[in-house]
Chains A and B, each alone.
Chain A
Amino acid sequence: MASADVAAATTAPSPARPGTHRLRWQTLPVAVFLLALFVVPVVTLLSISFFDNDGSPSLEHYKRLVDVPLYGKVLLATIKVAFFTMLFCIVGAYPVAYLLATSRKSTRNWLIILVLMPFWTSVLVRTFAWIVLLGRKGAVNQVLTAFGITDAPVQMIYNFTGVMIGMTHALMPLAVMTMLAVMEGIDPNLTKAAATMGAKGGTRFWRIYFPLTMPGVASAALLVFIASLGYFITPALLGGPQDTMIVQLIIFQIREVLNWQFAGAIGVLLVITFMLIFMIYDRVFGLSVIGGAARTASPAEGSMIRNYAGRVGTAITWGLAQITDAAITVFARWVPARRGGVGFSRGGLYLVCALIFAFIALPTLFVVPVSFTSEAFLTWPPKLFSLQWYQMVFESPVWLGAATRSFVVALITASVGMLFAVPCAFALARDNFRGKSALFGLVFAPLIVPNIFIAVGLFFLFSRIGIAGTTLAVVLGHTVIVIPYVVVTVLAVVKGYDRNLDHAAATMGASRMQTFHRVTFPVIRSGMVASFMFAFIISFDELTIALFVTGGRVTTLPKLMYEDALLAVSPRLAAVAALLLVSMSIVILASELIRRKGGFGLGTK
C-alpha cells in the first residue's frame, strides 16, 4: 500500500486562535457524565477480571482463556471476519466514494442519502431482509431454481458468506463517508496538472489521485475493522456456530452463566487485540492519518516500517499506473471513436457503482412484500394479500409497549444528549482551554470502545445501585452513546458558522442575547435539528445496551425484535421491520430536507 507521506502536499490547517486558558464550565456536564457512566463502568468491568469469583486477586480467568482452545479460535475467527469485512468494504466503497467526490453537488447530495440509508435503517431490519432474500426459500434461491441454475437451494446464510454479506452491507456506508471526506478535499486541478505534464489516465489516477486518497482509505479500513471486531448482531443472526464472534462469548458469560469476572477477561482480550491493531496501524500509516489530520509530516519523521511501506506503495502504484495506461492504450486502439478511453472508464465506474448502490439500497425493501403474506412462514414469492401480521402487531400490548418505550427513550435521550453536548461542542469548536485534547479523547472514546463494554459495564454498575432493568437505565446508557455523535455533528455546524456574523451584529448594536437569538441560533437551527434526529435514531435503534440494562417487562423495540428473531424470523417480524423501515425513512428524509433548507435560498455553501 502507498504511504501517507505522499499526501503531504495538501494545505495545513490554519492555526487555532489562542483563547483564554481556563477550564470551561460548559464542558463539565459531559465530562462528569462520561466519567461516571462510561469510564468508571468500563474500567470496573475490565479490572474485575483480575479477581477470582470469590473476590481475591487471581489470574485464573486468564489461565482459562489460554488453556481452553475455544477462546483463541473464536478470537481468530473474529479477526478473520473483521479483516474480510474491511477488505470488501474498502473495495466496494472506493468507487462509490470516488463517484460521489467527482459528481456535481446536487447529484452527490442525493446519492449520499442513498448510501446512508442502510446506515440509518435498523441493523435488525437489514439483517431480516437478508434472511428473506438469501434463505433456503428466499428470493434468490427461488430465482436460481426456477431458472434451473441450481437444483437444490444454495446455502448462503448461516455461514461465513452470510456474515460477510451482512457485515459488508452494514459497514460499507461508514467506509464511503470516511473516504469521501478525504476525496472531497483533493484539488481536482492536481490531476489536470499531471495531464499537462504528459501523464495518461492510468498514471494520473494511480500516481496522483490514489496516493492522495490513502489517508481516507487507511482511516476507513481502521474504522471498519474496529467496528467489525465489536459486532455481534449480524453474525448471530446470519452466521453459523463456527462464526461466533468474541462479543457473543461475553454476552453468553453474562446472560447465561453470570460470570462477570470471566466476561471481563474476555473483554481485556478484546482490548489487547484493539491495542495491537492500533499499534500496527500506527507503525504502517501513523495514527495521525485518521481524519486526514496532520498530513504535513515529512517522510523522515515516520518509522522505518512506514518508510518501507511508503516505498513499496510507490512501486506498486507505479506498476499499476503502467498497466492501466497500457490497457487504456490498447483499448483506445480497439475502440478509436471513444477518445482515449475516458468515456470508457467513466462508464465502467457508473456500472460498478450502480451495482454497489443496488447492493446497498435494494435488499432492505424485501421486508415489505413478505410482511403482507397470508402464510405463517416467510416464503418467496409471498402469498398475498393479508394484513394479519400488522393486525397482530397492533393488537399486541408487548409490541406496542416496546415501541412506545423506544420512542420515549429516544426522545429523552436525544434531548438530554443535546442539552449536555451542545454547550460542550461550542466550547470545543471555539475556545482553547486546558484539557481540551483530553476532553476530545473522552468524548470520542465511546465511539471506539465497543458498545458491549459500555453495556456490560453499565449493567454491572446499575445492578449495584439498583436501577438495572428500568427505563432510566436505558436512557442513561443511550445518552453515553449519543453524546459523541451529537458533539461531532454540532461541532461541524458550529465550525461552519461564520463568527463574523456575530461580530457584525455586535457592531450594529445587538447585545449578546439579541445576537444569539436573532442571528446565531436561526442560522444553526437546522443543523441542531438534524443533530437531534441523529441522536433520536441512534437511540431508537440501539440494541446492545438495551439487551443488558433492560429486563423483564421493560424492553425496547430492537431488543424485542432481536429476541424474537433468535427464535424465528416470522412474517410478524417482517411487519414490524416494514413499519420501522417506512417510518424511519420518513424521519431521515425529513431531517435531511430540514438540514438542506438551512442553505437559505440558492447557492450558499
Chain B
Amino acid sequence: MTECKNKLTIRGLTKRYGSATALDRVDLDLVDGEFLTMLGPSGSGKTTLLWAVAGLNDPDGGEIWIDGRDATHVPASGRDIGMVFQNYALFPHMTVRENISFPLEMRKVPAANRPQAIRRALEMIKLEHVGDRYCSQLSGGQQQRIALARAFVANPSIILMDEPLGALDKKLRDHLQLEIKRLHDELATTVLYVTHDQEEAMVMSDRICLMNGGRIEQIGTPDELYFRPATLFAADFLGESNLISGRIVGEDADRLVLELPGIGTLRAPSTTPYEQGAGIVHFTRPESLSILSGTEIKDNLVRGEVADVVVSGALTKVFVSVGDGATLQVSQLTSVSQRVRKGELLTIGWDADVGRVFADNRREVA
C-alpha cells in the first residue's frame, strides 16, 4: 500500500456545452490531505470541473473516482462532499444553526450528536454567538465563514470551494485566506479550491493546477509554477515576466546560444533536441535579473538605458530599454541608499540557468 492514497482521481474528463468544450480530457489526482487550487482565467473551465466533481453537472466523458470508488454516475447527494459556493448559497429560511445542522441531518447523524458537532464547527470559525440568527443578518465575511462551517461540519471526503472569497474586499480576503489554511490544517482535510487570483493560489495551495481553455496547462507546487513554468501561457499568467522573441543560433558548452534582436547573443539552459534557427521566446523573472555594479560577471550581460523606475512598496521595478524597442524589467528590494535614475545607462545581467526558452508555438522546446 502506498502511503499517499488518492482522495480524488479524474481521468479524461470532458464536458461540452453545445459546440463549446468547457473541459477537454482533464486528468487530475488529489492526494489525501492536500490543498489543490484550480487557477486560471475566467471561462477556463474551473467551475465546470468543480461541479463535475460535486456531481452537479453531467460530464460527456471520463471518470471521477472519490475515495477509491467510481463516482462518475453517483448523484451529488451520494458523493460525501462539502461545497462552498461563490454566493455562499446559505438557506435564507433557516438560522445559522439550522444551516449547519442540515448536512448532519441529511447524513443521518443521530440528533443527539448534532449539537456538539455544530458547536465545534461554530467555535472553529469563531462565530459561537450567531447560531440563532438568520444568515441575512450577518456580514459578508460572517456568511462566508458559515458557508465554510456548513461545508466541513459533516467531515466530508473532499471540500470543494468555488471562488469562496470572490465577493469580499481585499483585507477580509487576506484574513480569510489564512483562516481557511488554518481550518485545512486543523481538520486535516482535502480541499479542491477554485480561484482566478494567482496570489490567493500561491498563498494557500500545496499544489496549483493551472487551467486554460478547458485543459490543464500545468500542475505543480507554487514554486514550480512560478520559477519553472512549463508553457508560455503559464509563464505569462503567473507574476511578471520578461518575454523576448528571438531564435536559436547554436550550442556552446551545454548552453543554448540565442540571437535576440536589439539585445544580441544570450545563453540559456540547453534543451535537447533543439532546432537550429528555430523561433523561440526567452523568459526570465524580473527578480532573477540584477543591475551590475561593474566588477560582477554573469553569463548574460545587456546594456541599456533606464526608461522608468517604479517603487511599489517593498519592491522597486526598473524598466530598462535595451534597444530595438525591447524593454527588460528588473525588480529589486527597495533600498534607501541604492537609487537608479531615469536616463541612467547601466548593465543588467543574469546567469543562463534562470532563463527559460519556449518554442514560439507556445510549447517549451525542452
**Which A residues are closer than 8 A to B by beta carbons?**
18, 498, 500-501, 503-511, 514, 518-519, 522-523, 599-604
Contact = CB atoms under 8 A, between A and B. Distances in A.
Interface in B119-138: 133-134, 136-137
A189 to B, nearest CB: 20
Nearest to B57: A503
21 contacts: A18-B18, A501-B89, A504-B83, A506-B54, A506-B75, A506-B77, A507-B56, A507-B77, A508-B82, A508-B107, A508-B150, A508-B154, A509-B78, A509-B154, A511-B77, A522-B93, A600-B93, A600-B134, A601-B134, A603-B136, A604-B92
Nearest to A510: B106
A601 B136 contact: yes
B92 A523 contact: yes
A595 to B, nearest CB: 14
A501 B92 CA distance: 9
Contacts of A504: 83, 85, 89, 91, 150
Contacts of B133: 601
B76 A503 contact: yes
B103 A508 contact: yes
Given A504-B85, A509-B103, A603 B93 contact: no
B55 interface: yes
Contact of A500 (B17, B85, B102): B85
A509 B150 CA distance: 12
Given A500-B89, A508-B103, 6 more contacts: A498-B89, A503-B54, A506-B56, A508-B107, A508-B150, A509-B107
Given A519-B91, A523-B91, A507 B79 contact: yes
Nearest to A604: B136
A518 B17 CA distance: 31
Q: Which of B18, B106, B136, B154 is most buried by chain A, counting CB atoms within 10 A of its CB?
A: B106
Nearest to B133: A601
A511 B78 CA distance: 9
Interface in B160-182: 160
Contacts of A510: 77, 102, 106
A505 B98 CA distance: 12
Nearest to B83: A507
A508 B79 CA distance: 9
B83 A509 contact: no
A509 B77 contact: yes
Contacts of B154: 508-509
Interface string B142-162: 000000001000100000100
A404 to B, nearest CB: 36
Interface string B52-85: 0011100000000000000000011111111101
Interface string B85-103: 1010101110000000011
Interface residues of B, number: 31
B312 to A, nearest CB: 30
A14 to B, nearest CB: 14
B75 A523 contact: no
Contacts of B102: 505, 508, 510, 518
A604 B133 CA distance: 14
Contacts of B17: 18
Nearest to A502: B89
Contact of A506 (B18, B55, B150, B160): B55
Contact of B106 (A514, A599, A600, A603): A514
A509 B74 CA distance: 11
Contacts of A505: 91, 102, 106
Nearest to A525: B93
A600 B138 CA distance: 12
Contacts of A523: 91-93
Contacts of A501: 89, 91
B81 A507 contact: yes
Contacts of B82: 507-508
Contacts of B107: 508-509
A602 B89 CA distance: 17
Q: Which of A498, A504, A506, A518 is most buried by chain B, counting CB atoms within 10 A of its CB?
A: A504
A327 to B, nearest CB: 44
Leading 5 A-B pairs by shortest Cβ distance: A508-B103, A601-B134, A509-B106, A506-B76, A500-B89
Q: Which of A508, A523, A600 is most buried by chain B, counting CB atoms within 10 A of its CB?
A: A508
A507 B18 contact: no
B77 A503 contact: no
Contacts of A18: 17-18
Contacts of A509: 77-78, 80, 103, 106-107, 154
Contacts of B56: 503, 506-507
Interface in B10-40: 17-18
A604 B91 CA distance: 12
Contacts of A602: 134, 136-137
Contacts of B55: 506-507
Contacts of B54: 503, 506-507
Contacts of A600: 92-93, 134, 136
A402 B76 CA distance: 54
Contacts of A519: 91
A514 B55 CA distance: 17
Contacts of B137: 601-603
B87 A498 contact: yes
Contacts of A511: 77
Contacts of B77: 506-511
A8 B81 CA distance: 44
Contacts of B85: 500, 503-504
Contacts of B92: 523, 600-601, 604
B344 to A, nearest CB: 41
Nearest to B104: A508
Nearest to A509: B106
